[in-house]
């Protein structure tokens, strides 16, 4: 493979990116640095260097200090993952802006990239990913910096964790329907419920189906 000037990748970076993408497609989870080094017959030091550069160029995302946490954010159009198992089907989910898990903040609609997700983990439908800021959902296992995968739907059931708009600001909370009242509940005692019963500026964007832990 030659240097990819169009996509801003060197030959080494492109090889590492393709190896990670193919490995995820085949196994359903990301490889370790040791596995990448063995596949490409290069040192682990070289692997770490290439992964760091791919992360800076926003082709991948990682969680430092943990194995098998590489996520694909983007990849060259001419590089498709080699899927060797029919049981794994990866779908591209666009990463759109940032969502608040604390005091609501405006969700930027500019797409940041894409992440590959196993379809068996999210099901059928239209999806998008939002990046969490804040700690109001930590008791639900949703931490600052996580990516949440949202299924687009205008309705949700009592107890669902939803992405919602309030006065054009996005937030992630648990939906509570009780006694003809609608509340958005945090999962952290430091925050108070938000009553949206009579708010015309309240809109459900979708239901959270899973999270992806990243930096």
The reply to whether domains 11-72 and 90-212 share a CATH topology is no
What is the model's pLDDT at position 76? 65
Q: Which two tokens stand for residue 82?
A: 């080699």
CB 209 within 8 A of CB 162: no
pLDDT surpassing 90 at residue 191: yes
Cα separation of 63 and 70, whole Å?
A: 7
* 136 is a catalytic site residue: yes
pLDDT surpassing 90 at residue 46: no
Q: Considering the domain delimited by 90-212, tell me its CATH architecture.
A: Ribbon (2.10)
CATH code, 11-72: 1.10.10.10
Q: What angle do CA 76, 80, 86 make, to 5 degrees?
A: 155
- The label of the residue with tokens 């940041």 reads 112
Q: Which of 18, 151, 173, 207 is catalytic?
A: 173
Cα separation of 131 and 79, whole Å?
A: 26
Q: Which two tokens stand for residue 178?
A: 């009780």
Cα separation of 114 and 91, whole Å?
A: 10
What is the model's pLDDT at position 136? 94
pLDDT per residue as tens digits for the range 72-103: 877 665 554 444 444 567 888 888 776 666 65
What is the model's pLDDT at position 189? 93
- Domain residue spans in the chain? 11-72, 90-212
Cα separation of 191 and 89, whole Å?
A: 39
Cα separation of 187 and 82, whole Å?
A: 40
**SS3 assignment, position 55:** helix
* 80 is a catalytic site residue: no
CB 191 within 8 A of CB 136: yes
What is residue 46's DSSP assignment? H
Of 37, 4, 21, give the one whose Cα is nearest residue 92. 21
The segment with the largest mean pLDDT, out of 35-39, 111-115, 129-133, is 35-39
Q: Which of 21, 30, 136, 151 is catalytic?
A: 136
Tell me if the pTM is above 0.75.
Answer: no
- Which conformational region is residue 80 in: left (phi greater than 0), alpha (psi within -120 to 50 degrees), or beta? beta
Nearby residues of 161 by Cβ (< 8 Å), 6 or more positions away: 137, 140, 142, 172, 173, 174, 175, 207, 208
What is residue 133's DSSP assignment? E
Nearby residues of 158 by Cβ (< 8 Å), 6 or more positions away: 175, 176, 177, 178
């Amino acid at each position: 493979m030659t240097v990819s000037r169009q996509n801003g990748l060197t030959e080494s970076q492109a090889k590492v990116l393709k190896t990670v993408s193919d490995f995820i497609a085949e196994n359903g989870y990301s490889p370790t640095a040791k596995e990448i080094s063995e596949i490409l017959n290069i040192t682990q030091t070289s692997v770490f260097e290439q992964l760091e550069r791919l992360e800076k160029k926003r082709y991948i995302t990682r969680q430092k200090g943990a194995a098998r946490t590489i996520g694909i954010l983007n990849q060259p159009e001419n590089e498709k993952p080699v899927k060797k198992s029919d049981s794994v089907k990866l779908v591209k989910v666009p990463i759109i802006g940032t969502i608040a898990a604390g005091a609501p903040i405006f969700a930027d609609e500019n797409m940041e990239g894409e992440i590959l997700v196993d379809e068996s983990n999210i099901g059928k439908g239209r999806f998008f990913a939002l990046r969490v800021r804040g700690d109001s959902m930590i008791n639900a296992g949703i931490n600052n910096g996580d990516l949440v995968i949202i299924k687009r739907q205008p309705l949700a059931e009592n107890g669902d964790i939803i992405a919602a708009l309030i006065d054009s600001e996005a937030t992630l909370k648990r939906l509570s329907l009780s006694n003809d009242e609608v509340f958005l509940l945090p999962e952290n005692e430091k925050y108070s419920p938000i009553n949206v019963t009579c708010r015309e500026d309240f809109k459900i964007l979708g239901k959270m189906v899973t999270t992806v832990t990243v930096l």
